[in-house]
């Protein structure tokens, strides 16, 4: 059944990466209060999700887009899940990093906060992330956004400290407004086209008059998804909230939630609006450059270690969207590589920041000093991850920036090239400053010397694994480049995706719908 | 709350509401009703009970933790979608069984199983919210 | 009919934006609530308002005989209502907790996560 010969058998491959964590979340919730059982379930389930995503990616690589309509309803009426190389690749990387982060949380010292639903919520979050990566229905995308949102609401308040509640209020209100704006955009698009299937929308939008209504819908998508992805000028909620929850929760948020927003931006603008929404596209390049530069400046000015990391996440989002704004194949190669790199590095940096805070017993950079002597392992890992973030060769962060700068030069977009180089330089300064102050600076002599921090093997190992991953991708980038090239090429030629989702030949379209058809064809 | 009328009526009210919610759940697949609305009615029964008897009594009455009940419901709903794999259909395709000795029995299907899962999710989640709100005041 | 509904939707959006611009958490909550309802109504109007038969297909037929009302907006709205209901109930509990622990509903005074003192930039002399 899984040899890929039959449509349905292969179609099931796209279901498992979503369904496995969902069932796992259900099991973990059923085991409420039994923490060890929940931890075992989480590790097994995330491992299974990774394997299923890898099998899916392998199948997509050799056989093309895999699509399955839920309940066997014919396209475009049913809700379809579909995996192209882009979505499948991100699912693989996302589930791998989630596995590392959850393994880290098992050894972390904040065990008492885990009782209140950490594991079921993380698994539900992963189901939502995989669902968003693999759905081909735009309303379904909104539903998966809400699944991640409601699990992230639960995760951000775990622990219940004062500043956490404060950060959670800002996070919750602004993200809820963002998803409501997304729903408004989807509602308007449905009113214009009468369909919700992204593949069907592709043709339906192209057939519409390219007027101000369509431009408005495009801008609404940019604003709502940009708010979720933390783009300028709507990123202020991120540094206000991401430093407050448990370090592992911050790590998984930074690794995946903004990337889901960027992914949705790319998907919507490449499949639904490939040749429309020009205003939004023109705005995008400026927004992206402002985001990357202001994020890096924020990181440079910040004195709280975890807020510093939050600002670097914002800066990275700008780089990814910059590639989308240019929209050439080379630019997408850089963007997709950068997303993969950023998923790994953001998680590692938040994990490292949490370890720094517990090793130095402080969160402000000026209160931390001399950690190199007391935690050499941590300092090496932080240096590797930080330099990779800044884009220093030969680490993983260097290559996507090379491709993006090249694409920017080819497309004649000086502003993007300047933005990427400037933000890279500022990030390097910020990382260097943080490293010098936290690790190199000698501790004041009168300060009491707390005992050397003791981290368990899981805590060290997960950080080490992520740092090693970004190091190895830097040295041997060929597989990631190959996968990103393929994903970028498929993004620019969405016909295969559209055909796989709709199922060729198209029997009926939504414009034949007896109710909407007469309105749409007017 | 301290009302003699409500206190006297509660046992009957709660029992009848739960019974009605199960009726709405089962009639759901061809006429208005179903797991979600049935679950809401069932949860309102537990809400009435909580107002009168307090949180501790509701916890006892539910036997399991409300979140556990929601988890079991989600698991049942998810598995009901997988059942179609055995028959070579797409995910979430409804599978029906009409036994030859009782062809009018129209409840033996994965669709009803899904609805039962939804019912449990709704009851568990809403009672968890009600308990949380009651305890925080 | 759509025109009248469009005006209602617009009025609801105006009300919600006005409420969302406030600094009080209570008004923000009301604003979110009105925003959600305005959006649901918008989807309803976007699906076209027709006075057709209910979307029920009689036994033995594959498609309806006459024109039927569009059932999809209702399914979308029901989903959106369920989701916004659960998110809104979370926000209510969160706002209450925030009022208990931060002792204010004024968002300008909620500065625990971003204290003013932490905003000063590190100077070179600290090294």
Residue A504, pLDDT above cutoff 80:
no
State both tokens at A418: 């300047």
Residues of chain C found within 8 Å of residue A150, distances taken between Cβ atoms: 83, 86-87, 90
Q: Are A383 and A372 in contact (CB under 8 A)?
A: no
Please list every residue in chain C whose beta carbon sits closer than 8 Å to the beta carbon of residue B132: 93
Q: Which range, A143-157, B83-97, C107-121, is most confident?
A: A143-157
SS3 annotation, A302-362: CCEHHHHHHHHHHHHHHHHHHHHHHCCHHHHHHHHHHHHHHHHHHHHHHHHHHHHHHHHCC
Give the per-residue pLDDT at A520.
Answer: 38
Place of tokens 């939504």: A510
**Per-residue model confidence (pLDDT) at position A114:** 60
pTM metric for this prediction: 0.90
The rounded distance, in Å, linking the Cα atoms of C97 and A172 is 13
If one compares C65 and B112, the residue with the highest pLDDT of the two is B112
Q: Which of the four pLDDT bands, split at 50, 70 and 90, describes residue A3?
A: very low
Alpha-carbon span A81 to A78, nearest angstrom: 10
Higher pLDDT, C66 or C99: C99
pLDDT at A516: 43
Quick: pLDDT tens for A201-259.
888 888 888 888 899 999 999 999 999 999 988 888 898 888 888 888 999 999 999 99
- Considering CB atoms only, which of B71, B88, B90 is closest to A27? B71
Residues written for chain B: 137
Whether residue A23 has pLDDT greater than 80? yes
Mean pLDDT (chain B) is 86
Instruction: Give the C-alpha separation, B63 to A38, whole Å.
Output: 20
Judged against a pLDDT cut of 60, whether residue A2 lies above it is answered with no
Average pLDDT score over residue span A293-309: 90
User: Residue B136: which of C86, C89, C96 has the nearest Cβ?
Assistant: C96
B91 chain-A contacts, CB cut-off 8 A? 11-12, 15, 19, 68, 70-71, 81
In chain A, where are the structural domains located?
7-444+454-520
CA distance C25 to A169: 9
Q: Is the pLDDT confidence value at C118 over 60?
A: no
Mean pLDDT confidence for A466-488 = 91
Spatial contact of A262 and A338, defined as CB atoms under 8 Å apart: no
Q: What is the pLDDT of residues A44-91, one digit of tens each?
A: 999 999 999 999 999 999 988 888 888 878 777 888 899 999 999 999
Contacts of C76 in chain A (CB under 8 A): 139, 187, 190
Asked if the model's pLDDT at residue A290 lies above 90, the reply is yes
Residues 6+ apart with CB under 8 A from A190: A139, A196, C43, C46, C47, C73, C76
Contacts of B129 in chain C (CB under 8 A): 89, 93
Q: C8 falls in which pLDDT band (50, 70, 90)?
A: very high
Cα A298-A300-A304 angle, rounded to 5 deg: 80
Q: For residue A517, is pLDDT > 60?
A: no
At residue A513, the pLDDT reads 47
Query: Would you state the pLDDT for residue B82?
Result: 87
DSSP string, A31-90: TTT-HHHHHHHHHHHHHHHHHHHHHHHHHHHHH--EEEEGGGPPTTTS-EEEE-HHHHHH
Shortest Cα distance, chain B CAs vs residue A9, angstroms: 7
Cα–Cα nearest to B29, from B38, B20, B16: B38
Q: Report how far residue A227's alpha carbon sits from residue A170's, in angstroms, rounded to the nearest whole number.
A: 13
Q: Is B87 on the interface with A (CB under 8 A)?
A: no
Confidence tier at A35 by pLDDT (50, 70, 90): confident
pLDDT digit string (tens) for B8-62?
888 899 999 999 999 999 887 777 788 889 999 999 999 999 888 888 888 888 8
> Which chains sit next to C, with 3 or more Cβ pairs under 8 A?
A, B
State the pLDDT at residue A512: 47
CB contact under 8 A, A514 and C68: yes
Residues B87 and B65: their CA atoms lie apart, in Å, by 35
Its sign, for the CA torsion A360, A366, A367, A372, is positive
Distance CA A12, CA A24 (A): 18
**B129–C82 CB contact, under 8 Å:** no
Q: Minimum mean pLDDT among A139-143, A330-334, C97-101: which range?
A: C97-101
- How high is the pLDDT of residue A447? 65
Map out the domains of chain B as residue ranges: 4-136
Taking an 8 Å cut-off on Cβ atoms, the answer to whether A30 and B78 are in contact is no
Residue A34's pLDDT is: 82
Residues of chain C positioned with their CB less than 8 A from the CB of B133: 93
C-alpha A54: how far from its chain's center? 18
Decide if B92 touches A, using CB distance below 8 A: yes
Average pLDDT on B107-130 reads: 89
Task: Kindly state the tokens that stand for B82.
Answer: 């997988």
What percentage of residues in chain C have a pLDDT greater than 90?
Answer: 31
The residue among B29, B133, B134 with the most chain C CBs within 10 A of its CB, best to mutate, is B133
In whole numbers, what is the pLDDT of chain A averaged over residues?
86
Average pLDDT of the residues in C91-115:
82
Residue A505's pLDDT band (boundaries 50, 70, 90)? very low
ipTM, 2 dp: 0.89
A310 phi and psi, to 5 degrees? -60, -45
- Spatial neighbors of A199 by CB under 8 A, at least 6 apart, are A75, A76, A80, A82, A136, A271, A494, A497, A498, A499, A501, A502
Give the model's pLDDT for residue C15.
Answer: 96
pLDDT reading at C123 higher than 70 = no
Instruction: Give the whole-angstrom CA distance, residue A316 versus residue B2.
Output: 58
Q: Which of A218, A220, A219, A242 is nearest to A230 (CA)?
A: A242
Confidence of residue B112 (pLDDT cuts 50, 70, 90): confident
In order of their start, the domains of chain C are 2-53+66-103 (1.10.287)
Place A116 in a pLDDT band, splitting at 50, 70 and 90: low
Give pLDDT, residue A511.
Answer: 45
Lowest mean pLDDT among A95-109, B97-111, C3-17: B97-111
Most confident of A143-147, A364-368, A488-492: A143-147
Q: How high is the pLDDT of residue A5?
A: 37
| CA distance linking residue A231 with residue A287, whole number of Å | 7
Residue A6 has a pLDDT of: 41
Nearest to A169 among C39, C47, C110 (CB): C110
Statement: residue A145 has pLDDT above 50? yes
């Amino acid at each position: 059944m899984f040899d890929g010969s039959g449509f349905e058998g292969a179609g099931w491959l796209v279901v498992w990466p979503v369904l496995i964590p969902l069932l796992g979340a259900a099991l973990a919730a059923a085991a409420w209060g039994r923490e060890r059982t929940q931890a075992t379930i989480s590790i097994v389930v995330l491992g299974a999700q990774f394997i299923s995503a890898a099998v899916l990616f392998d199948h997509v690589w050799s056989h093309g887009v895999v699509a399955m309509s839920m309940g066997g309803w014919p396209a475009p009426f049913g809700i379809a899940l579909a995996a192209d190389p882009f979505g499948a690749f991100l699912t693989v990387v996302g589930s791998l990093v989630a596995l590392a982060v959850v393994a880290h949380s098992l050894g972390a010292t904040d065990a008492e906060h885990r009782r209140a639903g950490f594991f079921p919520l993380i698994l539900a979050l992963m189901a939502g992330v995989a669902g968003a990566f693999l759905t081909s229905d735009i309303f379904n995308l909104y539903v998966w956004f809400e699944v991640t949102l409601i699990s992230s609401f639960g995760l951000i308040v775990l622990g219940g400290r004062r500043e956490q509640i404060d950060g959670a209020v800002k996070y919750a209100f602004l993200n809820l407004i963002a998803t409501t704006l997304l729903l408004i955009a989807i509602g308007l698009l449905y009113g214009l086209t009468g369909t919700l299937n992204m593949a069907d929308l592709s043709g339906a939008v192209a057939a519409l008059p390219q007027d101000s209504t369509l431009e408005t819908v495009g801008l609404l998508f940019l604003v709502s998804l940009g708010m979720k992805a933390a783009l300028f000028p709507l990123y202020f909620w991120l540094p206000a909230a991401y430093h407050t929850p448990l370090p592992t929760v911050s790590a998984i948020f930074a690794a995946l939630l903004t990337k889901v927003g960027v992914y949705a931006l790319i998907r919507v603008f490449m499949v639904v609006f490939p040749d429309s929404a020009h205003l939004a596209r023109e705005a995008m390049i400026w927004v992206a450059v402002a985001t990357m530069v202001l994020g890096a400046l924020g990181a440079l000015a910040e004195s709280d270690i975890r807020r510093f990391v939050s600002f670097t996440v914002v800066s990275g989002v700008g780089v990814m969207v910059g590639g989308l704004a240019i929209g050439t194949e080379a630019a997408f190669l850089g963007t997709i590589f950068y997303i993969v790199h950023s998923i790994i590095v953001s998680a590692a940096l938040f994990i490292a920041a949490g370890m720094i805070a517990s090793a130095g017993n402080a969160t402000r950079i000026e209160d931390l000093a001399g950690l190199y002597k007391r935690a050499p392992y941590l300092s090496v890992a932080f240096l590797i991850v930080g330099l990779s973030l800044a884009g220093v060769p030969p680490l993983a962060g260097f290559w996507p920036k090379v491709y993006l700068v090249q694409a920017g030069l080819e497309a004649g977009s000086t502003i993007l090239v300047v933005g990427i180089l400037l933000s890279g330089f500022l990030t390097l300064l910020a990382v260097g400053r943080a490293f010098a102050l936290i690790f190199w600076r000698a501790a004041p002599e009168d300060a009491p010397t707390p005992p050397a921090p003791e981290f368990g093997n899981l805590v060290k190992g997960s950080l080490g694994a992520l740092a090693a991953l970004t190091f190895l991708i830097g040295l041997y980038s060929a597989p990631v480049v190959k996968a990103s090239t393929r994903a970028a090429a498929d993004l620019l030629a969405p016909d295969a995706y559209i055909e796989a989702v709709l199922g060729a030949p198209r029997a009926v379209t939504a414009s034949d719908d007896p109710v909407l058809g007469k309105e749409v064809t007017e | 709350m301290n009302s003699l009328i409500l206190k006297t009526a509660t046992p009957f009210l709660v029992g009848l509401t739960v019974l009605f919610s199960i009726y709405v759940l089962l009639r759901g697949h061809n006429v208005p009703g179903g797991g979600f609305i049935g679950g809401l009615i069932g949860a309102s029964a537990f809400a009435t009970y909580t107002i009168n008897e307090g949180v501790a009594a509701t916890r006892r009455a539910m036997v399991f933790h409300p979140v556990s009940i929601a988890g079991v419901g989600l698991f049942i709903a998810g598995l009901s979608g997988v059942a179609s794999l055995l028959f070579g259909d797409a995910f979430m395709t409804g599978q029906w069984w009409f036994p030859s000795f009782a062809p009018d029995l129209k409840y033996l299907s994965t669709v009803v199983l899904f609805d039962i899962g939804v019912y449990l999710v709704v009851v568990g989640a809403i009672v968890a919210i009600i308990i949380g709100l009651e305890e925080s005041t | 009919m759509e025109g009248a509904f469009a005006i209602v939707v617009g009025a609801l959006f105006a009300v919600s934006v006005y409420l969302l611009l406030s600094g009080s958490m209570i008004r923000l909550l009301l604003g979110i609530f009105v925003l959600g309802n305005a959006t649901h109504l918008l989807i309803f109007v976007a699906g076209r308002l027709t006075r057709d038969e209910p979307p029920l297909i009689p036994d033995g037929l594959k498609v309806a005989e006459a024109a039927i009302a569009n059932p999809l907006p209702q399914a979308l709205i029901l989903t959106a209502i369920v989701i916004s209901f659960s998110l809104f109930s979370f926000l209510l509990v969160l706002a209450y907790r925030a009022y208990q622990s931060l002792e204010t509903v004024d968002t300008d005074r909620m500065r625990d996560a971003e204290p003013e003192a932490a905003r000063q930039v590190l100077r070179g002399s600290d090294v």
